[in-house]
Amino acid sequence: AQSVTQLDSHVSVSEGTPVLLRCNYSSSYSPSLFWYVQHPNKGLQLLLKYTSAATLVKGINGFEAEFKKSETSFHLTKPSAHMSDAAEYFCVVSEESGGGADGLTFGKGTHLIIQP
């Protein structure tokens, strides 16, 4: 069975400083991994995805994540935080193929706070 652990429920950084949101996963097979962002009372937007190609994945809005199989990690980073980055971030794993059954497994989320 697959699972996802987001190591921090809240992260607070100052505007202009780096962002690090940590995610560890457990999977029996080669997983696909995603990061989604959710602004208050909105749906989820796909930030980036890893599907067994390059281990360093670049996403939208300057975010990137690195897949490290030996550490079973998929941490999300951004060099310089912007006020508009304040949101909830979800790390997500899928063991299934694209035609698979029960969708994605979500972490519990990390609330990113940006201090002015």
Partner 1 sequence: DGGITQSPKYLFRKEGQNVTLSCEQNLNHDAMYWYRQDPGQGLRLIYYSQIVNDFQKGDIAEGYSVSREKKESFPLTVTSAQKNPTAFYLCASKVRGAYEQYFGPGTRLTVT
Dist CA 71 CA 67 (whole Å):
9
Contact 63, 78 (CB under 8 A): yes
Total site size for partner 1, rule CB under 8 A: 25
Q: Which is nearer to partner 1, 15 or 111 (CB)?
A: 111
Contact 104, 94 (CB under 8 A): yes
Dist CA 94 CA 33 (whole Å):
6
Give the shortest CB-51-to-partner 1 separation in angstroms: 6
- Contact flags string 9-48 toward partner 1, x per CB under 8 A: x----------------------x-x-x----xxxxxx--
Dist CA 81 CA 38 (whole Å):
16
Query: Which of the stretches 14-22, 64-72, 75-83, 89-97 binds partner 1 when contact is defined by CB under 8 A?
Result: 89-97
Binding site for partner 1 (CB under 8 A): 9, 32, 34, 36, 41-46, 49, 51, 90, 94, 97-99, 101-104, 106-109
